[in-house]
Each structure stands twice: as C-alpha cells, then as structure tokens.
Chain A
Amino acid sequence: MMAASRDGYGEGLLDISSDQNVVVLEADLGKSTKSLHFRKSFPERTVSCGIGEQNMMLIAAGLASCGYKPFASTFAIFTERAFEQVRNGIARPNLAVHICGSHGGSHTGTDGSSAQSIEDLAIYRSLPNMTVMHPCDDVSASVLTQQCLDLSGPSYMRTARNKTPVIHADRVAELKIGKGVLLKHGSDVVLIACGVLVSKSLEAAAELEEVGISASVIDMHTIKPLDTNLIDEIIAETGCVVTAEDHSIIGGLGGAVAEHLSSSNPVPLERVGVKDRFGESAQAEEMLDLLNINTADIIEAAKRAIERKNRS
C-alpha cells in the first residue's frame, strides 16, 4: 500500500482535536500540508496567516505562551524563511510549538529546486530545545504528530509530498519520539534511514540478502534526540553503518550519526545523501537517481562500508 506522510500529519491533527488546546496555523498551504481537514472541522481553532510564515511562527509562539498547543505547517522550505523567528521566538524560550514542513526533500519533484528543502533537518537540529523528526510513512507521521502533545518543548517534523510504501501499519505500538525502529535485523551492516529512503533501504536490504549480505534496517524517524542506544547496540554486531536520507549529507541524519560515532565507536560510515548541490525539476524517482540516493546507491554504500570494515 502507498500513502504520503503528509496525509498522516492531517490525520494526526484530527486524532488530537478533542484536546481543546490544540490550535492549527496555516500559511495558505493547508490543502498541501493536509491541515485542511482540521480547519474544516474546527475553523474556530484554525488561524489563517496568509502567505506570511514569519508572522505565523510567532503567532504560534504567543499562543503557546498562553497555554495553547499550536501546530503550524507550511512547506519545509518556507519554514526556513522564518528560521530566525523559530530560533529566537520559539526555541530560545522553549515554547512548545510544533512545526510541520511538508514537501521536504528532492522527492517533492517537479516543482524544482526552489521547493526542495535539503537542509531543513540540519538547521533545525542545530537549535537547542528542538526535537526533529522525519517519518517515513503516513502511519508514523500520524502517531508522531499525536505524540507531540507529550513534548515540553518545540518540534519540527518534515513530511513528504509523494506517496511511498506504508511501513508501520502493524508497528504502531513501537513508534515513539526519540526511539528508532529496527525494521530488519542483519549482521553485516546496518542501514539507518529516515523519510522516503526508509523503504528504499528495505529494498536495498532485500537485494543485499540475495548476494549474501545480511543488513539491519533502522527507521530513524527522530533525528534529534538521536537514538544512540539503538545505534550502539546494532553496530556492536554489524561493525559498519550506512545512513540514507533525502537531505544534504551535511548536518542531517548522516551528520548526526557521524557526530555520535566519532565520539564513541568510529566504525566505517557511508553517508547516502545529497552531495552539496541543489536539485532540479523531475519526477521523484528521477530525482533520487539523479542525486545518487536511490536503492542502488544504498546497496553500493553498504558494500563499501563492509569492505572498509573488513580492511581495518
């Protein structure tokens, strides 16, 4: 079954709508981010901010300061326009504003490079107090959205525009902010992925199996705080790592894992991600191929990681 993680955000908002303190903020993209379903049912708790993301972030902060639980969404790229508002007005006073950036990554496709945020996870990860998430499917996007109510500080969640395989339909109970999900257990290499590259990593693991390579696969839906316990546990067995993300190799999941390994157990790490360049207009699959972040690239990275492990 295929679904888009942005739909999970919309469903998650409806699932927590009985909490009267939940308010939703939109910047003229509710149809796209899927907050429109909440707006239709609860217009009195939905704040239209027009095309004004900077204003939206701080209205959300003001609401949070008065005890409300604001969820503000726009495209991932346009949240970045309001970065300093998020930094100074939300993260610094540690106000529990929950930001959803949809249409993140090159996978968003034909809109082209202006819409393809490949740096959002990195910049939000650098902010104190922020939780940063990138779920891989609609099920986990919905569950993580609901769990935002348990956070005492702000969060950023990237969702994707296009449909990808549903991974977690039978794993809802395992989903928890800050906890990676071990989707497949293998002993030669671990593929740690987020977002749209989780299903690609599962594909890669299956193909690796056919050539005798046993790969673990982790859905690391929460980039910050990083589930280092799970990473440590799995690399004790695999001894090498591949990270996979539709995001710059600088500062995102790969960066976070590299930071952890370099100060704990520096096993070989291969990062599959966007190599310091911008995208262009193309279909989602074409973008993953163009940027060398598709299944075949994960397979090659796994082989390189194992080779480096065996050399050392």
Chain B
Amino acid sequence: MVTEPSRTAQLEDIARHCRAHILRMTHRAAAGHPGGSLSEIDILTALYHQRLRVKSDEPDWPDRDRFILSKGHASPGMYAILAEKGFISHSDLESYRVLGGVCQGHVDMKWTPGVDFSAGSLGMGLSFGIGCSIAARLDDSERTTWVMLGDGELQEGSVWEAVMAARHHELGNLKVIVDLNGIQNDDFVDVQMRMFDVPAKWSGFGWAVKEIDGHDMEQILDGIEWADSITDIPAVIIAHTIKGKGVSFMENNPAFHGAAPSDEQLMQGLAELGFDGGDI
C-alpha cells in the first residue's frame, strides 16, 4: 500500500504518545505490563487510526469491527489507544488499576468503552473472536474481527482448538495478529517453551500467513491491507516485535514484562521518547 509519508509519520507520532501513556500508567500504578504494551502499540495505532470501523461516540455500535486483545495484560497499550481515539478521556488513564477505575488491570468489556472482550486469562480471545466472526456471517455483515495474540499465549492448547475451528468454518472475516516479541512472564519464550516455526504452524492449520516487522509502520499497513484481501479463509499476520520497544532499558528485557518503571526510569524513558516529565 502506498501511504502518504506524512500519514505514516502521523501514525508514528501517535504511537510515540501512546508509549508515553504506557510508561506513565504503569509508573503511576506501580504495576502492570509495559513490555508487551510497547511491543504491540505500533500495530494497535495502525489498526485503530487507519483501519477499524469503530465509533468513539457510539462504542456499542452493533456493526462495528471487533478488536479482541487476547493478551489482555497488555492493557496499557489498549487504554492509550482508546484515549487517543476518544473512547475514554486522558484523565481516565489515571484510573489504571485503581479501585473503581475505568481502566482495569486487564481489559474488560464491562468496564471500558471500546473494549470488546474481557481478557486476563490467556488463550481465550481467538475463540471469542470466532464467535464474533460467525455472528457477522449470520448477520450478513461485512464487518471484520481482529484478534491480537501474544507469542507466549500460543502455548495454551485451547488456542489451537480455535485455530483449527476458524479454518474449518472458513472465517474469511477473521484476522489475527501475533505479537511475536519473544518474551513471556518468567523468561524468553525459547527458554520457557520453544515454539520453533510459528508461521509454519499456522499455515499447517490452513491459514493464510504473512510475516512483518511489527514496528515498521509501512509494513504494518501493508500487512493489514494484505489481511483484508484474504476473504475466503482466516488470515494471520506474524508480527516480529521487540518487547519494550522504544525504551532502551526495557527493550528485549524480560524484567519489564510485568514491572513498572521507577521514577528515574520513567524520566529516562520519557526523555528517550522525546518528552519531558510534564510534556504529555
């Protein structure tokens, strides 16, 4: 896809702001999952700001495209996007992990406008997305369902029940993105449970498969356009990403799967992203 360089730059700048939100949210909560939020955020930015048919003033619009964040711990990334899109306010971001807050620890459809799935337990989102896709087919609607999975999540056996079912039911309206950042809770994926050739596993189940660099905005937009061009079978984008992308000390560092930045780390991270402490 030929995207105006200025548009690509705009998206990259939105993602930069979202990264700052992610750091601030996790720092404020002194908890949460910055690493996987930073790895997914370029893709979420492209999806929400370029592709998904959703309405921030009507979050429950029945014919909206669905987005299922199956790796629901990476909620700061989701909340950052929802704030940038106007589903929630920027001040709502301060409620992340706070009693009564709009922004629950893991994304929850009952708490946050614009969230389509109550996540938190890995391996569930794709199955839920299949339900949404079958519903769209029954409705004779053109809407699509997009599901983002983590790579550690692929170790859940039920994911593969869903992968098999989506192809069996020829769900051409179902698109999956795997955030292949190579790190899970305790350590690197290759230490915890090697998965070898991930694209081959999906193609072996009969899916259309494309690999991209999940931080290259041009490749992300191309990948989305490619997925949209597949209409007879489900399509998966395997996005090679870097956990903690954009913040030097978080990049490729398992420690920041589920740890918040300290005061000093927040300042350093914001500076690396081109912000000062009060400039978001």
Interface residues of A (CB under 8 A from B): 23, 44-45, 47-50, 52, 54-68, 70, 84-85, 88-89, 92-94
Contact = CB atoms under 8 A, between A and B. Distances in A.
Given A47-B169, A66-B132, A92-B118, A55 B109 contact: no
Contacts of B30: none
Interface residues of A, dominant DSSP = helix
27 contacts: A23-B134, A47-B134, A47-B169, A48-B168, A50-B164, A54-B123, A55-B162, A56-B127, A57-B127, A58-B124, A58-B127, A59-B127, A59-B131, A61-B127, A62-B128, A64-B131, A65-B116, A65-B128, A66-B131, A66-B132, A66-B139, A84-B121, A88-B118, A88-B121, A89-B124, A89-B127, A93-B118
A63 B121 contact: no
Contacts of B109: 65, 93
B158 A85 contact: yes
Given A61-B128, A85-B124, A50 B161 contact: yes
A44 B110 CA distance: 30
B130 A59 contact: yes
A65 B109 CA distance: 10
B: interface residue count bin = 20 to 34
Contacts of A44: 138
A89 to B, nearest CB: 5
A65 B127 CA distance: 13
B270 interface: no
A85 B161 CA distance: 13
B138 A45 contact: yes
Contacts of B131: 58-66, 70
A45 B121 CA distance: 28
A65 B130 CA distance: 12
Given A52-B164, A55-B162, A93-B109, A62 B118 contact: no
Contacts of A93: 108-110, 118
Contacts of B120: 88
B136 interface: yes
Given A47-B169, A92-B118, A65 B161 contact: no
B135 A54 contact: no
A52 B139 CA distance: 25
Nearest to A53: B161
Contacts of A50: 161, 164-165, 168
B62 interface: yes
B127 A54 contact: yes
Contacts of B108: 93
B246 interface: no
B36 interface: no
Nearest to B111: A93
A215 to B, nearest CB: 45
Contacts of B110: 92-94
B113 interface: no
Given A85-B124, A93-B110, 13 more contacts: A47-B134, A50-B168, A54-B161, A55-B165, A58-B131, A61-B127, A62-B117, A62-B135, A65-B109, A65-B131, A66-B139, A67-B62, A94-B110
Contacts of A54: 123, 127, 158, 161
A62 B161 contact: no
Nearest to A84: B121
Most buried by B among A66, A84, A89, A92: A66
A62 B130 contact: yes
B128 A59 contact: yes
Contacts of A61: 127-128, 131
Given A62-B127, A84-B121, A93-B118, A55 B132 contact: no
B75 to A, nearest CB: 15
Contact of B135 (A49, A56, A68): A68
Contact of A63 (B117, B124, B135): B135
Nearest to A25: B131
B182 interface: no
A55 B138 contact: no
Interface string B146-170: 0000000000001001101100110
Contacts of A23: 134, 138
Interface in B86-137: 108-110, 116-118, 120-121, 123-124, 127-136
A56 B66 CA distance: 19
Contacts of A47: 134, 169
B135 A66 contact: yes
A59 B165 contact: yes
Nearest to A82: B158
A79 B266 CA distance: 46
Nearest to B63: A66
A66 B110 CA distance: 14
A57 B161 CA distance: 12
A206 to B, nearest CB: 48
B174 to A, nearest CB: 10
A63 B130 CA distance: 8
Contacts of A88: 118, 120-121, 124
B183 to A, nearest CB: 24
Given A59-B130, A63-B131, A84-B121, A49 B158 contact: no
